[in-house]
Chains A and B, each alone.
Chain A
Amino acid sequence: MWIVLTFGLLALPFLSLPGRYVFDTRDSLWLNPTGYLARALVLWRGSPYLGHQQHDGILFPMGVAVWMLRSIGLSAWVAERLWHGFLLLTTAGSTILLVDALRGRRAVAGPVTAGLLYSLTPYTFGYGLQFTAVFLPYALLPLLLLVTLRGIERKGFVWPALFGLTTFAMGGGNGAPQAYGLAAAAGLWAWIALIDRRVSLRSAARFAGWSLLFVVGLNLYWLFLLGSSEVSNALAFSEQPYGINISSSASETIRGLGFWQFYGGDRFGPWIPSVRTYVTSIPLLMAGFAVPLGALLSAWLVRWKHRLFFLLLLVVSVFVGVGIFQPSDPTPFGRALLFLYGHVPGTAGLRTTYKAVMVVNLCVAVLAGIGIAALWDRLAAKKAPRLVRTAALLGVVLVVGANAYPLWAGRLYNPAHGLRQVPGYWREALNELDLRDTDYRAFFAPATSWATYRWGAIKEGITATDPGLASISPIRLPIGERFGSNLVAAVEQPYLAGRSATGSAQLFRYLGVRDVVLQNDIDWVRANTAGPSQLKRLLGDHNLVPAGTFGTAKGNVQVLSVRDPIPMVRAESPDPVILSGDGFGMADAAREGLLQGGPPVLYSGTLTSSELQTLIRDSNPRFLITDSNRRVVWYFTGPRAPHSYTLPAGQSISGRDPGYLLFDDRPETQSVAVYPGARAITASGYGSVFRLSPQYRPANAFDGDPATWWVAGIGGDPTGAWIQAVFPKPLPMSSVTISSPNVPWLNRVERIRLEFSDGTSLASQLNQLGPTTIRFRERVTATLRVRIVSTGFSPTPRASGAAIGEIQVPGLRAAEIIQVPNDLMEAARQTDRGLALLAGQPIRYLFERARIDAPGLVDEETGISRRFQVPDSTAYILSGTVHIGPNASDDQIDELTMGRTATRVTSSSRYLGNPRLRGSSAFDRNPRTSWVPAGGKGQWVRIEFPSRSISRIVLRSSVGPKFSAALGVHATFSDGSVVHGNAARVRQGVIDMRFTPRVTSSVTVTIDRVYSLLDPRKPISIKEIEIPEVAPLKMDDAAVLPCSMSSSLTLDGAPLAIQPAGTVGHFLGGSNLPLQRCGAAPVSLKSGWHHLLARGGLQPDTISLATPGWRPPKRPDVLPSVSFSTTPTGGFDVAVRGATDPYYLVMGQNMDRGWRATINGRDLGPPILLDGYSAGWRIDRPGSYSVAVRYGPQRIYSFALILTGATLLVAVIVLIVSGYKGRSRGSRSKPWRPLGPTLRHPTPPQRP
């Protein structure tokens, strides 16, 4: 039996994707086991994530096993299949041993069935073999129960040692499956000691105590790692309970399913194809339920000693596996779990309740196996006909075979996740990079979640094949203290978010990067990341130069070199830039050229008031306050990590942690949303049900701008969606005006319900042609909720979602303002002269509009509305970049291009929004320009002027195949009188209206009749409207833009006189133009809070306010020379030569409080955060010396490794000594004591 089982289970994995390695736990272990193991004993891992504390915990047995298999010359795929076969065999074999022990005698049918049922499950194929490090506890759980069963009634250390060794063989990792396994063993222990009472409590406690000691001792090396920041990051940012339990219903959990990834997929198909069939195929569905059904029948009908234990354990573990299902309405148990995850440290690590399926599967397999054995015995005892026995056997084989279908059908693995071999050009490229100076890093762009190349897929990217290479391979899940991840995400903006590449080289210098490797052979569609054309945007920075290509002539791999790179470990100037914000603010500053020369960057969020004072006293810092580090909830689900809209201080969405959790989540370090008239503006949802759409946030409905909307339910049903404003104090209200935009891709909101805090509500129909004012009896309410009750007709069949453009409540002004970090002021205020000291320093405010630089997409912000604090009354220089606003009205454009004029022209619309086709183009006496409305009949243009008498209007429109012709119009005057006019001849396009002279201050010309030869959708083009008595406007594309007091830019509500630098032509063409104050006059600001608002005719991208003379600090002429070498334990020995002045020593490794530096044994104190990610120190000591930089926790890790080794030695000695004693005692040893069976035992367990 064993031979057949061994051969079968070892061979069958080879049927799936022969010749291809597929992902399992860590690619680097399989593709370069020696390189991986060489780093396994070192806690700090410098590549590929800028340095982090590793917590793999897969050194033993997986690491050693894979290394051994690969060392004997097996290829990665053969070694992997053998390992998987071995694990299947171990799983089945340990179950067979357990069932034999439970039955008290050896047999074939029952135990083998149990072994195969436990080993060959959807959980094994869909999850276990992808993460075999996590599968090891599954494989060894039966052995753990067997050791508990035997050991609890024996004296001595052998069984506790065996218990410990079993857990040791389960390996490390995230700990959840080990915990579930230990919980099952503890349950069995409690059953025997407290219910069964076969052994005394004292003896059971002794076994438990010693076992626990061995468990802790043997697993200390990875248990210690559970405290690492990587674990807390995974808990905060990776799979969350609401996703984990999205499909873990009891009916799925009991048949070994329920893991959320089993049900998901993308446009290329299911994530785990092998499991899909278990859910969609009726035969497999039946076979899946047949196993627990057999188990239940067995629990009912077959009497044996521990059956109730396995039954009750099954029930409990099913409900644990179910977890918080369904997440929208959890059970009290689910709510209790959520509470525990949030409030009891460590319990969140058990949130992956699908791992409890291991216990479910084992209970089901044991019960079913023993049931089969009993059935077999019964058939044999009753001498049942062979046909009946054959049918029973066939039934078992069918069920086991159906559950094992991916194994024999060759569908164990996802074909999209494998690779045959790494192409030669990549080996060449990596070899070349290996040979270059290791003082620098290589940056592999772009980020991926799963690096899918055109030749295969490696989850960790190509750097997994060369773990020794100093590299950065970006991923979105935050690493370490998250500063580095935040900065790298900002660095990747040029190709992932379409931002300008200017300043990228400077950011790469900070990261210690010399080579930027463009992975052009990535299947970017599948990997959902940037393609080659987007990667090329980096060449927009002239400091990134092509250095070579590998592969095809176009370059499957292209390497760009950074001009004047800076090594990872370096000395930097003593004069820093102190930045309020985060890595995105640093990237903004680099784009603006504010970090030229590479000054050290300190985040103000990390500074205490005394540190700030010291810095001002001992150096010449520059202060830079940005609107970055926004309080948003990030979803690190892919390279383009989506995020929520900016939240008010203290608020979150769905209970998720906001931002990158930098600076301990202090609100003063963040850019937060402020709604002046409301405490909160929330909604049931916003944007698409598939992706986050901050551009459709709830606050848009209260911003006074009908062009921005709150949108709900795109891709779903918006009925029932609501938006709510919470007021700081109850507000009297008697009317609300609501408008819903009329766009073809959205449903019109037909009916809404207003809900008030007193519990009353009222429903109303919305006007389909414009805003609807709903009047009601006045009430005082603390909240206003508007709920969409129904939606109406939409012109396009694919329309989904619905929007509310504006909700107006008399007396309520709640337009969103982003309040920028004020941590600097807070820190300064804490000391007596802090603010005064700060006031004398160079300070710059840098505001960037949140936008998506991709055509056709709606920007998150249409303007810049910022609230910021100023330390003292000072003059600031205004600068920035602006372009014409996409929603600028005709008169706003005229004001910006011509200044204030006596004549004002507005129109109903412009064709495609083109500013050149605005109304005033028909009133400039220039036949080459014209007003082209976005429609025909009903469109109007209005000309307002100082009151005078007029008697004639001539309208000339374009005629020809491209245009429709206006055949009839009417003119309305300010006195309400109307004159009609018709075209005499269609071909001429002239309508001449002569009328009795009348005094008027405006003329509104409305189109009544339109003629089109072929296509009525062709636009109308009005070239000229002549009113002889009114002087036309003077428009000149070549004219310099005038100084204007535009309402497009206000400071504390007052318009600023501004002048974009450029011509009218550039402006109308959409060019980005530098912004300045008229005559470069400074803006005077008093100390305190200020509000800057820029939107409307001018759309700003950047606005800056700086004290005169703000420039980045100069790089000192002389900096000490720095060279370094790495130590075997992950530290650095840094040789410093020729230090004369103070300097910053930057390590180029992610900030971690564990770093320590000493000079001749003198501690330099805790590290500080430098350049947005790195640990470093400010050193005042002159001369030449050596700095020893060590990672402190390595000592504890080394100690834990030694302790684990020592415990292992003790355990092995215990086993050897016991084996020797056992042999010498010979027949005196205890005979095998059957634990069962007591089949058909009619009574419950009795006391001994």
Chain B
Amino acid sequence: MQTLPRWAGAIALSAGFPAATWLVGGMVGLITGLVIVVLWWGMAPRLWVIWALSVVLLAIAPITVVLQGLPQTSVVGSGFGAEHLLAHRVVSVSLELAAFAGLVELAGLQSVSRSRTRRAWRTLSGEPRDLLTRGGDAPR
């Protein structure tokens, strides 16, 4: 992937990621994928934010399972999965976020969205150029 220019990787990720999340999550997955990509381009969050969000979502998954009710009968029942759809969605989104963060790292795109966003912001607000020189933001 390193042989491609970064912008090509970024576009491929932006197009491919929602397609992949649609594949595994249907309409909910598509919306999730699109939101992640749009936010990535629009708000240019630091990568650790995406990682943290993924971890937080996975952490609340057991809580959603408990909140949706644990079976009290001797046999759990085949409806358990369907009765805990929220947990399924939460875990799915968590994994999608983690995968997105991983792919961004893999393709070395940590700074692409940030630089584009800042350039756009600068154009709009007239900020001086030297404020926009920070690079990647992987946690240390």
Interface of A toward B, CB cutoff 8 Å: 195, 243, 246-252, 254, 258, 260, 262-266, 269-270, 276, 279-280, 282, 285-286, 288-289, 292-293, 296-297, 299-301, 308, 311-312, 314-315, 318-319, 322, 325-326, 328-329, 331-333, 336, 1240, 1242-1247
Contact = CB atoms under 8 A, between A and B. Distances in A.
Interface in B5-29: 22-26, 29
Interface in B56-93: 58-59, 61-62, 64-66, 70-72, 74-82, 84-85, 87-88, 90-92
Interface string B21-60: 0111110010000000000000000001001101100110
Given A264-B75, A280-B71, A280-B76, A308 B102 contact: yes
17 contacts: A247-B80, A249-B81, A249-B88, A251-B61, A264-B77, A269-B74, A269-B75, A276-B74, A276-B75, A285-B70, A288-B62, A296-B58, A308-B106, A318-B95, A325-B88, A331-B26, A1244-B107
Nearest to A325: B81
Given A265-B75, A331-B29, A315 B81 contact: no
Given A251-B91, A292-B58, A1247-B2, A308 B105 contact: yes
Interface of B: 1-2, 22-26, 29, 48, 51-52, 54-55, 58-59, 61-62, 64-66, 70-72, 74-82, 84-85, 87-88, 90-92, 94-96, 98-99, 101-103, 105-108, 136, 138-140
B58 A249 contact: no
B76 A333 contact: no
Given A312-B103, A318-B95, 11 more contacts: A249-B82, A258-B81, A270-B75, A286-B62, A297-B55, A300-B51, A300-B101, A331-B24, A332-B22, A332-B26, A1242-B140
Contacts of B61: 251, 289
Contacts of B77: 263-264
Contact of A326 (B76, B82, B139): B82
A426 to B, nearest CB: 31
A328 B85 CA distance: 13
Contacts of B90: 251
Contact of A282 (B1, B48, B70): B70
Task: Report whether over half of chain B's contact residues are helix, strand or loop; otherwise say mixed.
Answer: helix
A260 B78 contact: yes
Contacts of B48: 300
Contacts of A297: 55
Nearest to B138: A1242
Contacts of B138: 1242-1243
B140 A331 contact: no
Contact of A251 (B71, B84, B106): B84
Contact of B98 (A195, A246, A296, A322): A296
Given A263-B78, A315-B99, A279 B140 contact: no
A254 B106 CA distance: 23
Contact of A276 (B76, B84, B87, B95): B76
A296 B94 contact: yes
B85 A326 contact: yes
Nearest to B75: A265
B84 to A, nearest CB: 6
Contact of B23 (A250, A314, A332, A1246): A332
A262 B76 contact: yes
A265 B71 CA distance: 13
In the A-B complex, list the 5 residue pairs whose CB atoms are closest, starting with the nearest: A265-B75, A247-B81, A249-B88, A251-B87, A249-B81
A325 B88 CA distance: 10
A311 B76 contact: no
A540 to B, nearest CB: 38
Contact of B62 (A265, A289, A1240): A289
A288 B79 CA distance: 20
Contacts of A276: 74-76
A763 to B, nearest CB: 29
B77 to A, nearest CB: 6
B24 A319 contact: yes
A285 B59 CA distance: 12
Given A296-B55, A331-B25, A1245-B106, A251 B65 contact: yes
Contact of B71 (A279, A332, A1247): A279
B58 A282 contact: no
A302 B91 CA distance: 21
B24 A1240 contact: no
B71 A1244 contact: no
Contacts of A311: 98-99, 102
Given A250-B95, A285-B65, A300 B55 contact: yes
Contacts of B87: 249, 251
Contacts of B26: 329, 331-332
B61 to A, nearest CB: 5
Given A263-B76, A279-B76, A293 B58 contact: yes
Contact of B88 (A246, A251, A314): A251
A823 B136 CA distance: 75
A250 B70 contact: no
Nearest to B61: A251
Contact of B1 (A195, A252, A289, A292): A195
Contacts of A254: 58, 91, 95
Nearest to B66: A282
Contacts of A252: 80-81, 88
B105 to A, nearest CB: 5
A296 B95 CA distance: 9
A317 to B, nearest CB: 10
Contacts of A1240: 140
Contacts of A296: 54-55, 58, 94, 98
B136 to A, nearest CB: 8
Given A286-B62, A1245-B106, A315 B98 contact: yes
A292 B51 CA distance: 14
Nearest to A246: B78
Contacts of B59: 289, 293
Contacts of A266: 75
Nearest to B47: A300
